[in-house]
Amino acid sequence: MKSNILEQSPYSAKFEVTIEADDYSAELKDKLKEKRKSSNMKGFRPGKAPMRLIQKMYGHALLIDIINQKASDALKEISEGQEWRPLGEMDLAEDQPNQDFDPVQNKDYSFIFETGLLPKMDLKGLDGSLSVPYFTIEVLDDKVRERWDEILSQVAEQVETEGPVKEGDVLTLEASELDGDKEKENGWISNFSIAADLMEEEAQKLVMGAKIGETFDFDIYKLEKNADEEFVEKHLLKIEDEEKPEMNSDFRFELMTVKTKQEAEINQDTFDKIFGEGEISSEEEALDKIRESMEMANQGGSDNLFYWDAKFKLTDENRLEDLPESYAKKYLLDKKTAAQYKNEDLPQTVKDELIWSLITQNIAIQNNIQPTQEALIGKAQERISQMLQGQALPDSVMNQLTQTILEDREQMNKIAQEVTQTMITDFIKENVTIEQQTVSEDEFKAEVERINEKVDKINHYLGADQSEEE
Q: What are the tens digits of pLDDT across the range 14-52?
A: 989 999 999 999 999 999 999 889 888 888 888 888 888
In this prediction, residue 389 carries a pLDDT of 62
pLDDT at residue 470 greater than cutoff 50: no
- CATH of segment(s) 2-116: 3.30.70.1050
464 or 56, which is more confident?
A: 56
Q: What are the tens digits of pLDDT across the range 236-250?
A: 999 987 777 889 999
Using an 8 Å Cβ cutoff, are 271 and 280 in contact?
Answer: yes
For all residues of the chain together, what is the average pLDDT? Answer: 90
Average pLDDT on 3-17 reads: 90
- β-pair type (109-116, 12-19): antiparallel
Q: Is the omega angle on the peptide bond into residue 164 within 30 degrees of 0, that is, cis?
A: yes
Q: What are the tens digits of pLDDT across the range 374-390?
A: 999 999 988 888 777 65
Highest mean pLDDT among 156-170, 332-346, 427-441: 427-441
Q: What are the tens digits of pLDDT across the range 386-405?
A: 777 656 678 888 899 999 99
Average pLDDT on 135-143 reads: 91
253 or 89, which is more confident?
A: 253
What is the distance between the alpha carbons of residues 289 and 278, in angstroms, rounded to a whole number? 13
pLDDT at residue 430 greater than cutoff 90: yes
Using an 8 Å Cβ cutoff, are 125 and 318 in contact?
Answer: yes
Q: What are the tens digits of pLDDT across the range 154-175?
A: 888 889 999 899 998 999 999 9
Query: Phi, psi (5° rounding) for residue 292?
Result: -60, -40
Taking alpha carbons only, the member of 257, 186, 251, 255 closest to residue 223 is 251
Strand partners, 190: 175
In this prediction, residue 419 carries a pLDDT of 93
pLDDT at residue 464 greater than cutoff 80: no
The CA dihedral of 343, 348, 350, 356, to the nearest 10 degrees, is 140
Q: Where in the chain is the domain with CATH 3.30.70.1050?
A: 2-116
Taking alpha carbons only, the member of 169, 151, 150, 173 closest to residue 160 is 169
Q: One-letter amino acid identity for 21? A: A
In this prediction, residue 383 carries a pLDDT of 85
What is the distance between the alpha carbons of residues 48 and 39, in angstroms, rounded to a whole number? 8
Taking alpha carbons only, the member of 451, 416, 147 closest to residue 302 is 451
Chain centre distance of CA 98: 44
In this prediction, residue 468 carries a pLDDT of 40
Architecture of the domain defined by 157-262: Roll (3.10)
In this prediction, residue 442 carries a pLDDT of 92
Side-chain half-sphere exposure of 149, counting CA atoms within 13 A: 6
What is the distance between the alpha carbons of residues 454 and 371, in angstroms, rounded to a whole number? 29
Q: Where in the chain is the domain with CATH 3.10.50.30?
A: 157-262
In the chain, % of residues over pLDDT 90: 61
